[in-house]
Amino acid sequence: MTDWQEIEGGITAPKGFKAVGITAGLKPSKAPDLALIWSETEAIASGVFTTSQVRAACVDYCRQNLQKKASARAILCNAGQANAATGEQGWQDALTCAQVLGEKLNISPDSILLASTGVIGQRIKMDAMIGAIPQLVDQLSEDGGASAAQAIITTDLVTKSIALETTIDGRPVRIGGIAKGSGMIHPNMATMLSFVTCDAAVSTQLWQQMLKRAADKSFNQITVDGDTSTNDSLIALANGQSRTPAITTMDKNGQKLEAMLTAVCQHLAKAIARDGEGATCLIEVQVQGAIDDSSANKIAKTIVGSSLVKSAIFGRDPNWGRIAAAAGRAGVQFNQDDLMIKLGDFLLMERGQPLDFDRQAASNYLKQASQGAYLKEDTVLISVSVGSGSGSGIAWGCDLSYDYVKINAEYTT
């Protein structure tokens, strides 16, 4: 089901949303560092957050708020300080941010969600934050999606934004999304933030289920270096301003909406994997024939997360041995005599046995991918089958280059 089209506008493409990104002076640089996303009406809100035991204040704040009431009017996101490992004072700062913004927007702080990205162990620069909030609100705009996308990035090489449109009962329905993340490369910079806006009318419970499933097929299936951050957050708002009939079950319309939500999340997740520091290509691993989807996803993620597979692809080496070894250690049962491995169109292994193949041509296939970095053509496709089961899964990652070690070895806190 891909009966949607890409449109302009990112998170402000859906009806009834405004956004803005400004320079509040939180980052050492003069780059934009404060973003606001606003819905003209109370929107259904759902979130997926880091599972780390070491969490930022904003993550605990959002969890509490969404448990109280699964709706919101605004998302405030700062870059520069992660406000993680900042203890009770960091928690108070989060409350203050919501308080001050709520007064300026003339809404309850309960209707505000928070996100932070930046240096772990540093509190938000509260003077700059509070001083910037009036200007932030005044500059909210229906064309502000791009500036918000700019203001949430940290080490990202590119901004990440998308908007898709479909029709439900003849009327347009839109989902927009922005994200930041380039692998947890600068170790004290939070990894992954994503904000999604939607103008469909959908029930709270269904929206939460859709977002969880979409995250499992996208953000939860990417790996750059395996390190999960203290601030990871995915927040999705649906405000119903498309004036389409409310979606309350997984009927035709429900499936259409979830498919489009999943496509938005996958686009952003792939953009993050592609932006891994030092990466020259995107790696997509497709696994089939597993007993169930979660087993297939586990194998796919283990392969794409293998340092050996990642560095082989950086070296343009069609190395089936590393792929087979990674599949074998994924913690999923399969019969090694069923193992099939393809790299692009090259069949490297079948029924558990290595095959003769044109090594030079396969290496050229890998070379071409790197030359297309940041284009659709930059994707290296690894296809694996582990049996005759119906389970399938996909995972995305990037190759491991000298620059990864260089940046991480030479970065100093």
Among 327, 369, 380, 398, binds a second copy (CB under 8 A): 327
Residues 112-151 touching a second copy, rule: CB under 8 A, are 119-121
Among 99, 108, 336, 390, binds a second copy (CB under 8 A): 336
CB of 218 to a second copy, least distance (A): 19
Give me 40's structure tokens.
């003209």
**What phi and psi values does residue 26 have, to the nearest 5 degrees?**
-85, -40
- Strands 282-290 and 379-385, bridge-based pairing: parallel
Active-site entry in 191, 197, 230, 302:
191
Q: Where are the alpha helices (DSSP H) in 275-354?
A: 293-304, 307-314, 320-328
Binding status of residue 337 toward a second copy by CB under 8 A: yes
Q: 114, 83 in Cβ contact below 8 A?
A: no
Site string for a second copy, 279-318 (x = CB under 8 A): ---------------------------xxx--xx-xx-xx
Give me 87's structure tokens.
């203890």
**Core vs surface per residue 260-282: b (16+ CB within 10 A) or e:** bbbbbbbbbbbbbbbbbbbbbbb
CB of 193 to a second copy, least distance (A): 16
Binding status of residue 58 toward a second copy by CB under 8 A: no
CB of 342 to a second copy, least distance (A): 16
In eight-state DSSP terms, residue 24 is -
Binding status of residue 321 toward a second copy by CB under 8 A: yes
Report the distance separating Cα 321 and Cα 326, nearest Å: 9
Is 180 among the annotated ligand-binding positions?
yes
Q: Residue type for 260, please? A: M
CB of 31 to a second copy, least distance (A): 21
Size of the site for a second copy (CB under 8 A): 65
Binding status of residue 91 toward a second copy by CB under 8 A: no
Taking CA atoms, 48 is separated from 166, 173, 196, 231, 297, in Å, by 24, 23, 12, 11, 19
Element (H, E) at 110: none
197 part of the active site: no
Residues that bind a second copy (CB under 8 A): 51-55, 85-87, 119-121, 184, 187-188, 225-230, 306-308, 311-312, 314-315, 317-322, 324-330, 332-337, 339, 349, 351-354, 359, 400-402, 404-406, 408-413
Binding-site residues for substrate, in ranges, read 154, 180, 191, 277, 408, 413
Active-site positions read 191
